[in-house]
Every structure is written in structure tokens, then in C-alpha cells.
Homo-oligomer: A and B are copies of this chain.
Amino acid sequence: MLIRNVRPLGEAACDILIEGGRIAAIGPSSAAPAGADVEKGRGLLALPGLVEGHSHLDKTLWGLGWYRNDVGPNLTDKIDNERRYRAETNHDAGAASLAMARRLLANGTTSVRTFVDVDTDAGLKHLHGVIATRGTMAPIQRMQVVAFPQSGILRMPGTDRLLDEAMTAGADVVGGLDPCGIDRDPVRHLDVVFGLAQKHGKPVDIHLHEPGEMGAFSLDLILERTAALGMRGSVVISHGFCLAMIEPAQRDALLARMAQWEVSIATTAAPSRPVPTVPMCRAAGVTLFAGNDGMRDTWGPYGTPDMLERAMIVGLRSNLRRDEELLWALETVSAAGARGCGFDGHVLEPGARADVVLVEAETVAEAVVSRSPRQLVVSGGRVIARGGSLVGGA
């Protein structure tokens, strides 16, 4: 396949040659190889495939009737309300996640990391649904499923066993959650999470909403275990609000240890919370990548299946204004997401997986702030979507 006349990340117009699902060459226009499909790029901007690095596809109510949110303000209010809602409505996490995965893909998102709740009410029901979605999407979208103890591990006895079963059932990542704040016993919580990671040989992704010194303490314990177990590059901290709440010297010491052990940060760039910013993480050499978190679920009404919109929010939250800075925002939903989650590709380079997104924009900055419609989405060398809609067969 040959994609003619596109501008990779706003560079000069060129052609992208794809062979065997990978980018074979990027260069000046030349004759198409015999039998190659040719796509006319019409001078459009080419972006790498986008990455949704932190989502909860099992929870979304996208496409269903409007959910009137009347939930209390505490984290446990939201957790308990959702568990009750899903039990009462017999929520179908498989159908919900599939619909959302397809919307994400139509908008150029070729890799997704999603958490899936594992708890003593629902057991592995949601997990099985999302694993089915992962299978359905596998040829055209890569999905990592995180077995996520949303209701806590110790708070709901039996959850540790369910997480173990979830990993055996095919989950890709072991999830954790606020070791102090939710389970109120950080050592035992982390023993379960890291124990399962060791047992199953899988990475870890821990939601850390805990503020200030409490969060810094949990992060310290996590880094200690990451080093002791040699899990370089296999640990993600989601949110990490505490890093934006502690003294700069303490923060920088933690970030230096994160950089050393390649512990990445997933952020939603929440406008209402203190968050690790793009410049902060770049200066420390820590990978920061982005995701929507919930998208229109019982937790809140926000979030859209468009990673360029998330990149815009990252840019707004980190006050990125210069064109070169907007490229950093794009990286949080592409190359950095791939690095943090361990997806290959998501760069426009020879040898990379051939995920390419074409948009009408003069520059990357314009694509981000305009959230330009996706004219063409190629995943693994196949045309998957045109004009924002999946093509037949996808």
C-alpha cells in the first residue's frame, strides 16, 4: 500500500510505503509497487495511530439514554453507586466496550488500555465482556485489559482471588487502587498487586488519587517494590495527583526514581485537580501519557472517544501554547502512550506498525486544537475508517 502526498507531523509532503502491515519507507514520491493499493493523501497532515492510555470501557453508557447523575461527592459514593447501578440494570460491559472501542478506532485510536472492574458483586462478568471485545477488535485495534479492583482488594474480601482468576482468564495488566486511601493497608494491598504481577509475569497499573504526603508515601512504597522486583518499565502510576501537591524537592526526588525505573504516568489532565504536567515530566525524563478515564458513565458526563480532544485538554492543562509544545500534547496520545503501555509503533518511522491517521490541518497544533475530523485511518496497513466512519468489514 502506498499513501501518496501526505505531510507527516506537518513536515514536507512525501509518500508512505506500507508492506506487511509495517511502514517500509517514508520519502519522496516514486512509482507505486506493482499491485499496491494507492491512497491519495491530497497534502493532508499524517499523524501516527492514536493511543487511549487510561480508560474504563466497561463502565461507559455512551449511546444509551442520558444517565441523570445525582451521586454524592466522595470517591466511595461513586464506587458504591456504580456497583449498585450495574447490578440493578444488568449492564452489559461487552456491548458497551465494543461500541466505544469502535468509536475510538473510527477516530484514529489504534491502541487502547482499559481498566475493567473486578469485584465480589460482579466477579469476572465485566472482564469476560471486555476480553470478548478485545478479541473482536484484535485484527484492527490492540487492547490491553487491566484487572482493576475498583472497590478495593482488602475492603471486599475475596477480591484477591478474583484478580488472580482474572489474570488467568487473560487480563494483560494487574491493577491497583489507592493503597492507603481505599484499602487502608498499603503494604498488604501492594503485596497482592505485586504478588500477582510476579506470579503471572505481567505489568502493573495503579490508580493513585491519594493527595499530598499520603500519595507520596504510597508512591514511595510502589517504587521500592518496583526496584526490589526489577520491574523496570512495567509499572504505571495513573493520575498521581500527589506529585503536583508536594514540595518541589520531594517531587523531583520521586520523579528521578520514576525515571530510573521507567515508571510512567497516565493522566487525564483533569482541569479540577493538581496533576503532573507535561513540562514537569519532560524535565524529569518521565513518560507522561493520556487517557479519558471515564467516558460518560455513572461517575460523570465528560469524556469523548476522540484522543485529539484529550490532547487539547492536556495542552490546556499544561498551558502549552507554542507549536512545538502542541507536538508534546500529541505525543501524550501517541508515542508516549505506546511507550508507557508497551504498544509498539505509534510513530511515523520505517519499521513501525503501519497505523496512520490523516487529517485536514496545516500543522499538528491545528489538528489538536481543531480536533480535525479523521479523513482516513489505517491500522496495521489496512484502511479502517474514512471520514470518521468505519469502512465495511471493519
A272 at the interface (CB under 8 A from B): yes
Residue interface bits A68-91, CB-to-B below 8 A is 1, else 0: 111100000000000000000000
Once the chains are docked, how many angstroms separate the CA of A60 from the CA of B366? Answer: 14
Contact, CB under 8 Å: B322 / A302: no
Q: Which of A48-101 contact B (CB under 8 A)?
A: 65-66, 68-71
Complex interface: stretch among A126-134, A161-169, A312-320:
A312-320
Copies of the chain in the assembly: 2
Q: Are B301 and A69 in contact (CB under 8 A)?
A: no
Q: In the complex, what residue of chain B is closest to A321 when comparing beta carbons?
A: B300
Contacts of A368 in B (CB 8 A): 301
For the complex, what is the distance from the CA of A222 to the CA of B362, rounded to whole Å?
44
**Contact A369/B301 with A65-B362, A272-B318 known, Cβ cut-off 8 Å:** yes
B271 touching A317, Cβ below 8 Å: yes
Please tell me if A357 contacts chain B, counting CB pairs below 8 Å: no
Q: How far is the CB of A221 from chain B (nearest CB, A)?
A: 28
B271 & A321 in contact (Cβ 8 Å cutoff): no
**A269 interface neighbour in B271, B315, B362, Cβ under 8 Å:** B271
Partner among B66, B272, B313, B363 whose Cβ is within 8 Å of the Cβ of A363: B66
Asked whether A4 is an interface residue with its Cβ less than 8 Å from the other chain, the reply is no
A301 to B299, CA, bound (A): 30
What does DSSP make chain A's interface, helix, strand, loop or mixed?
Answer: loop
Return the chain B residue nearest A316 by Cβ.
Answer: B271
Which B residues lie within 8 Å of A68 (CB)?
323, 363, 365
Which residue of chain B lies nearest to A368 when distances are taken between CB atoms in the complex?
A: B301
List B contacts of A312 (CB < 8 A): 302
Tell me if A365 and B322 are in contact (CB < 8 A).
no
Contacting pair A369 B296 (CB below 8 A) = yes
Instruction: Give A327 Cβ to nearest chain B Cβ, in Å.
Output: 12
Instruction: List which A278-323 residues lie within 8 A (CB) of chain B.
Output: 296, 299-302, 312-313, 315-319, 321-323
Q: Residue of B at shortest CB range from A272?
A: B319
Instruction: Assess the B302–A69 pair: CB atoms within 8 A.
Output: no
CB pairs A–B below 8 angstroms (22 shown): A65-B362, A66-B361, A66-B363, A66-B365, A68-B323, A68-B365, A69-B321, A69-B322, A70-B323, A71-B322, A271-B271, A271-B313, A272-B317, A272-B318, A272-B319, A296-B369, A301-B326, A301-B365, A301-B366, A301-B368, A302-B315, A302-B321
